[in-house]
Amino acid sequence: MPATAVSDVERAPRERLRALQLERLRGLVARLLEAVPVTRERLHNAGVRSGEDVGSLDDVRRLPFSTKADLREHYPFGLLAVPREELVRVHASSGTGGKATVVGYTRRDLDTWTEVMARCLTTAGVRPGMLVHNANGYGLFTGGLGFHQGAERLGATVVPVSGGFTERQVTLLHDLRAQVIFATPSYALHIGNALAEHGLGPDDLALEVGVFGGEPWTPAMGAAIERALGLAAVNMYGLSEMIGPGVAVQCLEVREGSHVNEDHFLAEVVDPQTGEPLPDGAEGELVFSTLTKEALPLLRYRTGDIASLDPAPCACGRTLARMGAVRGRRDEMLIVRGVNLYPSEVEHTLLHVEGVRPITSLWWSARRRSTSSRFAASRSTETSTARRSAPGSPTRCVSARASGSRSSCCRPAVSRAARGRRCGWSTTARADAFADFLED
């Protein structure tokens, strides 16, 4: 196994890990003071003039936050700590909440990213020599290349399928006998639905492990993916602003929380309203500092994700702190009769209702592209068959689309997105249409 796939820091005493974090936090502060004027001014206002002014990790609470708004205000390269010419790659978010978030990488950053991804995949149960099917999108999205380079470093065989073209996904999974799949959880479930529509089941595949990330998902959705694809579903957490995927991952042995790569990311949980640090185990907003990033170092970055942190050792033997499942986004929280409620809790409840199953769809609006979970009550086979053969059914719409013609319900003047809503395609057909659209 490559040396970079495992690290003794994963099982190091907490005291040793905290000493390493303090050393690297001081280095981060020093780099920001030297190279990023915006953060330098904020640190000066907080009374910090050098990295040595950070006496302990407890001092992090007096350091200034950074936010997505900072990245947008100084778009595209205003927060770089290196000359733009030293970047070897640029990735960006989709800009779902406004202007895209652009992140740059030096050659050393890419090597660090590859290292933490190889470590994460090892933790998730991926072994050298395994055949891995990468259904994450390649391009500006960090998922495709992040998983790809980590799996190659680990010594796995990578099939770079990318997203969309779901029928091809099913064919390749069946024919190449992949043992591991990488995807967003909603797209993995979509592939499972397509598998069933082709008359295939988990026993027809060779999958053992699925590593999923890019969006929050509940244990109930994970169980649905496991039933559909016949694998162990493992969560990977990351965000472009930190590095991409590779910030934290579940261990295959236990899967109770995701182990944070704390030698590269200093994690905190703060009150979403006040910004005050919360005790271990309390639920609040996740905050990360990049301890080893060269191109775009960020101090106390507020992610907007709601979760908790547990520093207790895991039963797997790792001592890295574990973050709980992301319950939702700070800006998604609803208050219903005085109770905080997140969309993921609605999903969790619905998936425990008899006769309700998860389906997936992709939807598009002028400001947002996103993958979302939908729910449908089970129908009888007779009813489903009748709907598939009716005018405007999924079968007719998909076959018409493949042949270049249109079914009776899909008028020439209707956009592709509106056409999917109007004719009532199955989620497999509609998601494929949108995936192809985004791929184009």
Mean pLDDT, the chain, rounded, equals 82
Using the structure block, give the residue that is written with the tokens 């995927």: 245
* pLDDT tens figures, 22-41: 999 999 999 999 999 999 99
pLDDT at 409 over 60: no
Lowest-pLDDT choice from 111-120, 131-140, 210-219: 210-219
pLDDT at 98 over 50: yes
Please tell me which residue, 429 or 153, carries the higher pLDDT value: 153
What domains can you pick out in the chain, each with its CATH number?
A: 1-332 (3.40.50.12780), 345-439 (no CATH)
* pLDDT tens figures, 347-400: 556 655 676 656 554 433 333 334 444 444 443 333 333 333 333 333 333 333
The C-alpha atoms of residue 111 and residue 152 are separated, in whole angstroms, by 12
pLDDT for the residue 143: 95
The C-alpha atoms of residue 192 and residue 202 are separated, in whole angstroms, by 8
pLDDT at 299 over 50: yes
pLDDT at 401 over 50: no
Other Cβ atoms closer than 10 A to 292: 19
Residues 6 or more apart whose CB falls under 8 angstroms from that of 407 comprise 391, 392, 396, 397, 400, 423
Q: Is the dihedral of CA 197, 203, 204, 206 positive or negative?
A: positive
Q: What are phi and psi of 182, to 5 degrees?
A: -110, 130
Residues 6 or more apart whose CB falls under 8 angstroms from that of 325 comprise 216, 218, 219, 235, 257, 307, 344
